[in-house]
Structure 1
Amino acid sequence: MIRTPTIAELPQVFAIEQDVFQYAVYPPFLFRQALDLWGEWLLIDDDCANGFAGYALGAPSLDDHEAWLLSLAVRASHRGRGVGEQLTRALLDSLRRRGFRSALLTVDPANAGAVRLYQRLGFAIEREEAEYFGPGEPRLVMRAQLG
C-alpha cells in the first residue's frame, strides 16, 4: 500500500535511508520537514507484514511548472518486485494532479537498474554532471514530461 507516513513512522523512513544509502544519507530531521512541507510527496510502500519496503520523496522546484523526485529508496529485500516503480508512479501521479508539467531527478550513471526504471517511466537524460554532489559524485539529470 502506497501512502504518506505518520510522524511516528518517520524513524522507519530514516532507517530505509540508512539501509539503502549507507554512506550519504539525508538527516532524520529532513524527513520531518519534508512531511510538513510536501507531505503528499513523501510516500512509503507499507508492506505491512515486513514493515516499509521503500519510500519516495518529491518537492516543487523554483519553476512553478516542475518538481523533483529527490529520493527513491527500496530495501534490498524488496527489489525486483516493482516497489520502486509503484512509488515513482504514485509520486508522478500526485505531481501531475497538482499541475506540474515536468519532473526532474538525478541518478548515479553507474546505477543501470535505476536508469532503466526511470527511462521506462518516461524520463530522458537531459545532461550529465561529473561532480553534481562534489568530486567523484557524477549524476545524470533526467526529466519526464507529465503532460
Structure 2
Amino acid sequence: MSAHPLVPFSPPSGIGPFHIRPASEDDLPALFRLDTELFPHFAYPYFVLRQLFDVYTDHLLVLDDGSSLHGYALSAPSPDGRRSWILGLGVAKQLRGQGLARGLMLETLRRLPIGGVHEVWLTVEPANTAAIALYRSLGFAEQGVRKDYFGPGDDRLLLALRH
C-alpha cells in the first residue's frame, strides 16, 4: 500500500470535506460504477480496472467524502520512472466546476516518482473544453490530435507536461 497519508481537500466553494487517498481493493465495485457513469462508452471493464489497481496501486487515487466515491485519477509511470501517463480523471457530474478535478490532478502529479518523471502525457476528447482548460492551466501543452485513437471516429487531443 501507499506510504502517502490521506490528503484532506476542501474545494474553494466549501461544498464539503473530501479526502484524496489511494484506492483500496474494497473501492473497486464503487470505482467501476463511477467510471461507468462518467465514461459510458469508454469505461474500463471491471477486470481491466482490477488489473490497473494491482499494477498501479499507489497511482490510483479516489475522491472520498467518507461515505462514497465522487472522483478518481489514475496515473501510470513507466518502468524507468521517466514518463507517466494519466489514464483516467473523472469527477461526478453534479460536483464538476468545484475544483475537485484540479485537486485530484495536483495530488496525482505530486505523487509521481520524485526526480524521475520528466514527462506526463494524457489524451482528451477534443470537444471537452473544460478538461482541456484544466490541463492547460496546469502546464500541459498540446502535442496534436491523434485520429482514431480509440477507434474509428474517436479522435483524441494529445497533451504533455514536460519538466
Give the structure-1-normalised TM-score: 0.92
For residue 32 of structure 1, the aligned residue among 38, 42, 50 is 50
What code does the residue aligned with 1:46 have?
D
Q: Secondary structure at the match of 1:58?
A: strand
Q: Distance in 1 between matches of 2:59 and 2:151?
A: 26
Q: Distance in 2 between matches of 1:2 and 1:97?
A: 19
Q: Distance in 2 between matches of 1:69 and 1:24?
A: 15
Q: Secondary structure at the match of 1:133?
A: coil
Q: Which runs of 5+ in 2 are unaligned?
A: 1-18
Deviations 1:64-105 (A, max 9, x none): 411100011111011111111111111111115262111000
Count residues in correspondence: 145
Q: Distance in 1 between matches of 2:116 and 2:64?
A: 27
Task: Decide whether aligned partners of structure 1 residues 5 and 64 sit closer, same or farther in structure 2, where only a CA change above 3 A counts.
Answer: closer
Deviations 1:22-57 (A, max 9, x none): 1221111222212221111100011225x1110011
For residue 73 of structure 1, the aligned residue among 78, 84, 90 is 90
Give the structure-2-normalised TM-score: 0.83
Q: Distance in 2 between matches of 1:62 and 1:116?
A: 29
Q: CA RMSD in A?
A: 1.5
| Equivalent residue, structure 2, for 1:133 | 150
For residue 129 of structure 2, the aligned residue among 85, 108, 112 is 112
